[in-house]
Every structure is written in C-alpha cells, then in structure tokens.
Structure 1
C-alpha cells in the first residue's frame, strides 16, 4: 500500500514529534513551510504551539489563504491543541487569524496556565483501537464548548472539574484533539488520521460546474 504524503505545518510547535508519529502510522511525512510544499501533500497536521502566533505566521508565509481554500476543497487536516483552535469556526477569545472549517466553539487555554498541565487516560474508541485507554497529555489546552450537529464528539474529559468537556472531535475530513498524542508515544490517533487521508484519496472526484473546484463525492 502506497504511503500517503502528509505534511506537518513547520512554523511552530511539536513538528519533529508529529513527523515521527506519522512515519510510525504508515505515512510519508514532510515538513510544510511554503505554498508549493502545501500543494504537494495529501493531508496536513497542525501541531500544538501558540494559536495566535501560528495564525500570524501562516499569513506571513503566504499559507493562510491557500490552506483555507484547500480545507474548503476537502483536504484532510488534523489539529492538536493549538491546531484545534485554528480549525474552529468560533473562538471567542481568538487573538489571531483562524482557518475554520469545524462547526465548533473552542475556548483557548481552557484548562489554565502551563502549571495546570496534566495527563489522563481517555476511553476513546473513536480514536482507534489499542492496548487499553488512550493517554492524553494536556498543555495549556483548549476544549470544545459547543459542537454543531454535524460534528462527531470522539472523547470527553473523564474526571475532575472539567469532566464532560469535549477534547476530541471530527467533522468530515477534519480531526481535532485538545491533547498532544505526538508526545505520549501512542500513535493510534495518527493512524486514524492516516486512514482518513487514505479514504479521501480513494474517494472518486465529483466534477462541479465550470469555474468551481472539483469535489469528492
């Protein structure tokens, strides 16, 4: 089976860790910093970091409009932590440009400051099968406050003051987690995303009327 080419946005964040996890999950991982590199990938990972900084860097590197267009055209994208913020349609305290695409309202730094970072075991069968629960690492993490009807909720915080908060969701070709699977040593989330990219590539292209971008049926 041919490995899909999946990029990791390499402007800030856990780039190397995502590249390694994608390789373990069966993809051909590449770094993306330029429009030509974005145009060459079958899917893209938005790593953690600082969402407002990443948004501004997307504009500086002439990637913002191109990536928004590719998301509208169906490009599979996975966002972890800050990537979840960037994919949200609504972020009340946004401090920079967003990409959008997911019908969710996301709260930045919802769990608190850096000192409030924590880990937990998640029961999340929608994020792939594996040995036992999924270890979730939260670092100045967001959460989803509201999700539209077309959004599949994949995981919620299991205990504590934030119990029940949404920390993983999917809508079509877009996947987002509030936590960092790339640093937990568990590649099952990346395997799910690689499978999403493969499914996207296997879907026949449906032509639209002249002047519109092709869509997948």
Structure 2
C-alpha cells in the first residue's frame, strides 16, 4: 500500500514538473536562479524517472515512415550515386569542356543552362585517357557556345549555370557541378588581371 502511494506521489511530482516546465520561458531557463532552484528540488531518482517518462512519450508519438517511401528514397539516392562528372574547363571566349559517367547507359547528352537560357547541348562522345578507369567508352564532352564570355563574365554567371545530363530519350537523369578548381583558377587569373590593371593606372 505504501509503495502504491509513493508511486502515485512520484507520478504526481513528475506531472507537476512537466506542467511547470511548459510555463517557463527561455529567458527564465537561462536564469541561474531558476536553474539552481529546479535542480535542488529534484533528486537523482526523480530525474531518472522523468527521463524515462519523456522517452516513453517520444516513442509513442514517433512518426511511422512508410516503407514504400523509404524504398523510393533509396532508389533516388542510388541513381544519384551512379552519376559522376563535372564541367572542368572553360576556354574563353566560348568553349566549355567536362566529363560525365553514369550507369544509366550510353548516348548521354549534356545541356548547359545559365539562368533561364540554354547555352547549348552536346553529346558525350570524347574518350578521355584520364578517365579510362571509369569507362572504356566516351566520358568527355565539349561545347562551343554562341555567346562569348571572358573569365570574369563566366565567374559572374557561375552561380546560375546548371550542367544537366540527359539520357538517349532526352530525359534528365541529374546534374553535375562546375569543378571547384576551375573556379579557383579563374578567380586567381581575374585577381592577377585586376592587379596588373591597377599597376598600369598607377
């Protein structure tokens, strides 16, 4: 009987503590005075019981993930992991080069988009010796665009550029990035050009 009363008392204390915690604002929680008061009011056993009660509540309210959704997500992740490549060269004023490898099959095409404008489209039909470990067939591509850009102008557009990969039915299978080292090189060249201009002006 005594054990039952103690259990009810502990349950009541925990419930009261939870109710009190809901009314405490973040500012109050940050107050050392409040922190010391709440900690001294609780024994180690109280804290353990509160933690167990909260963990049980979390388990009961946990969202169940639909297995079909998880399976679908896994397929998307798998398809993304099989697509590799980069736009890794820009030769001013209008030549873009890069590579792409995918398990989706051969006859891939690359479409370059800047903002809402299509700069061009080209097949993946160049064999690159540096990428033979990925595929014995073609992995490289080269696109000559109609618009002409300086290195500085390419850098300005870089954030809006998307390199889209298409399969043989012109369906998009993913995107590849602009190689970071290409951007770093162009930024360095741009900085050098600006420094030379400043010297000439001086």
Higher helix share: 2
Please give the range of the TM-score, normalised by the shorter of the 2 chains: under 0.3
What's the TM-score once normalised by structure 2's chain length? 0.23
What's the TM-score once normalised by structure 1's chain length? 0.22
